[in-house]
Amino acid sequence: MPKSQVFRQSVYKAALIGVLLGASSAAIALGDQWYLGIGGGTSRLQPEPEQSGILRDEEFGQAGTFFLGRDFDSRSSGQLQLYSLGEATFDNADTASYIAGDASVLYRFFDSRDNRRGATFGASFYGRFGFGFIDRDSDLTLTDDAPVYFGAGAGLETYVTRNVGFRLEALYHEQDTASATLSLVTRFGGRARLPQLATPPPTRFPQGSADQIPESVQTRPVQKPQATPVPTPAPTPVPAPEVSVPAPTTSLPEVWTRELPEVEIMGDTRENVDSLPVPVPLPVPVPTPAPEPAPAPTVIDIDNDGINDAQDQCPRSTAGYPVDTTGCSTFNELARMLVFPDNSASLTPSAIEALNQLATQLREYPLARIELIAHTDNDGSEEQQAGLTRQRLRSMGVYLVRQGISQDRLLLRSFGGNRPAFDNSTVQGRQRNNRIEVFENP
């Protein structure tokens, strides 16, 4: 290979490494969870030598791969990946071995866990688009020896547990290189999102016509006053009985002669005082000690949602999102109240009440983000169905934004009539297919 071409490849590789490192450092601030993967498979290598008369003898090689990635959100990820793609052999005993690396972005077009929030098991289909380099090591001069490529591929990822899964993927690297691999993927890291209690002031609608949506009423939970402890009164001491001592019958002489006169005590003289009985002292009352307070019961709350695990029906709820008294998300109950008239996007009183409660909860949990999904029945064309669900999403989104909820916290998805959950051949089934779903979007 000419030295100039080797030099150009070195420059390309150095520039690409700089791009990959920059993409990796920028991804640290975009997502919540890292993942690692390792796997193997097969590759198809089709090098073409410039020398005539030399043919490929074997074009399938053994591939190995290692990758590091970061989930940006529930749909997209970015990753860096290295490949050892094996080697192709020629009929003259020469070989061409391939090593590649790329930086790519993954987007999940379908995820079976979309309608089962918090599910552990599931699968997703994704597409992948990457920018990378290939190093072809061969003693022959190859017609296609470009070091840089733009690749694309698709794959299926299954989720066995919350952190472990498998990925089956096919990737087109360059016109002479493709691979198919099966990899083990494990996820780690992530930041816990804790609720904050700060509540921003409610946003009021501007003055306008009388038929506009009524102003939201902000409700705040009533705090129960703490009971003031009643002090225990001190025991009243029992007064000792008064003993009256009679005045002596004999008065003292005017002149003291240093001799005590006889003193009469209760009819006896001083001479027989020693013979009187010794008085018994009265018992001193002993105060009764206050009973010790019973020890507080031990509270176990693994997901920190304020509900004891003994009563928590959803013990793995997402931190930073509202829950009801059973420890489960409140969004399902609010979704049942989001109803619309037939073929209309006007908000009903029930829908307005549900949106008011939803806005209050989002203000109380400022890190929570939600996903609003609109469905309809099979009446009309697909374009009419999609238009109706989009209008309903816009009505709800505008109302929440006017309540002070940021657009960045709302994900609106319209499915029209493509995902019926009930039988459209009955009136009741069509009514139930006109539904709104509210999901957590961590």
Q: What is the pLDDT of residues 269-290, one digit of tens each?
A: 444 445 546 656 667 777 888 8
Most confident of 61-65, 210-214, 223-227, 283-287: 61-65
Ranges 244-248, 401-405, 407-411: which has the least confidence: 244-248
pLDDT of residue 332: 83
Whole-angstrom distance, CA of residue 364 vs CA of residue 350: 22
Question: Stretch 401-412: mean pLDDT, rounded?
Answer: 92
Q: Which two tokens stand for residue 320?
A: 């930073």
Neighbouring residues of 263: CB distance < 8 A, sequence distance ≥ 6: 248, 250, 269, 270
Residue 258 has pLDDT above 80, yes or no: no
Write down the pTM of the prediction: 0.40
Tokens 């987007």 belong to residue: 107
Q: Which residue has the higher pLDDT, 25 or 80?
A: 80
Question: Domains (ranges, CATH) in the chain?
Answer: 3-188 (2.40.160.20), 331-440 (3.30.1330.60)
Q: What are phi and psi of 358, to 5 degrees?
A: -65, -40
Whole-angstrom distance, CA of residue 245 vs CA of residue 272: 17
Question: Stretch 416-439: mean pLDDT, rounded?
Answer: 91
Residue 351 has pLDDT above 50, yes or no: yes
Ranges 168-182, 265-279, 402-416, 418-432: which has the least confidence: 265-279
Tokens 């931190």 belong to residue: 319
Whole-angstrom distance, CA of residue 434 vs CA of residue 348: 14
Mean pLDDT of the chain: 77
